[in-house]
Amino acid sequence: MSAPGLDSLPTLRESLEAHGLWAKKAFGQHFLLDLNITRKIARLARVGEGDHVIEVGPGPGGLTRALLETGARVTAIEKDERFAPLLGELAAATDRLTLVFGDALKSDEAALADGGPAHLVSNLPYNVGTPLLIKWLTGPWTPASLTLMFQREVADRITEGPGEDAYGRLGVIVQATTKADRVMDVPARAFIPPPKVDSAVVRLEPRADRPAPERLDALQAITAAAFGQRRKMLRASLKALGGEDLILAAGLDPQARAEVISIDGFLALADAWRARR
């Protein structure tokens, strides 16, 4: 469903040109100007009428337009104030877009969500994608779902499991808190300007049994130590946190390496560590 007014907007290229805007590297700007791609991302986000979406980094507003076309209400937070006039034109074409100018790393999502549930959807700026994800997964506010574009290599770290090359600390934290799927590959040439590497969209659904904050803190401490020295056996990398006794208490093999331990294994280590403190 198209909101009244959205259809009559100039193309994204025309809007950028009319406002004399170009991509700035410092803000991690790589734009998606092809509405077929942004519409596909909006479909993969599975949002629609009655949903509230928080979008980080609308930039020229291609993904924002696609999200609005689904009938969803969108609150978009953008750091680069050069985009205010262009995004203002988009906001004038619908009553479902709220614009906020500021740094998403410092924003209060509960306030942006206005006390209700909200879905996060973003073609993330590469330079702050991972810290934003950690903030959303470990902070006090839980999104209804997250549909996010990352560099392909980061998407692999998010979705790969034990024994796979990219499995590590990020994957454990993400998969302990959400069900994570890589849902779309996007080649570098799809962006203006093209980044050096390809990208992928991941969709994350928070788990009902996600660890409580204290358990998550313990999981972060355990994974930091275990993957800090990923080639070492756990009994060496976890020495300062309890070593062999801790690992046996968690029902694991002290000679195993972090890269083969399952999410449940890491949770057992986190629980054993908390029980001893």
The site for ligand SAM (CB under 6 A) is made up of: 27-32, 56-60, 62-63, 77-80, 103-105, 123, 125, 128
- Of the two residues 31 and 273, which places its CB atom closer to ligand SAM in the complex? 31
Least CB distance to ligand SAM at residue 12 (A): 8
- CB 139 to ligand SAM: min, Å: 15
52-56 and 119-123: which strand pairing? parallel
Which lies closer to ligand SAM via its Cβ, residue 145 or residue 223? 145
Residue placing its CB nearer to ligand SAM in the complex, 28 or 168: 28
100: nearest Cα among 84, 89, 82: 84
Strand partners for 54: 75, 120
Task: Give the span between the Cα atoms of 216 and 197, in whole angstroms.
Answer: 32
Beta carbon nearer to ligand SAM, 59 or 171: 59
**Which lies closer to ligand SAM via its Cβ, residue 100 or residue 144?**
100
Residue nearest to ligand SAM (CB): 57
CA–CA separation, 158 and 11 (whole Å): 34
CB of 204 closer than 8 Å to CB of 146? yes
d(CA 42, CA 168): 29
Helices within 56-196 (DSSP H only): 62-69, 84-92, 109-112, 129-138, 152-159, 169-177
CA distance 226 to 243: 11
62 versus 265: smaller Cβ distance to ligand SAM: 62
Q: Residue 31 carries which side chain, given as an amino acid letter?
A: F
- Minimal distance, residue 193 CB to ligand SAM, in Å: 11
Sheet holding 97-101, edge to edge: 97-101, 73-78, 52-56, 119-123, 146-151, 199-206, 178-186
In the complex, the smallest distance separating the C-beta of residue 62 from ligand SAM, rounded to whole angstroms, is 5
In terms of CB distance, is 21 or 272 closer to ligand SAM? 21
Exposure letters 31-55 (e unless 16+ CB within 10 A, then b): bbbebebbbbbbebbebeeebbbbb
Query: Distance between CA atoms of 152 and 158, rounded to whole angstroms?
Result: 10
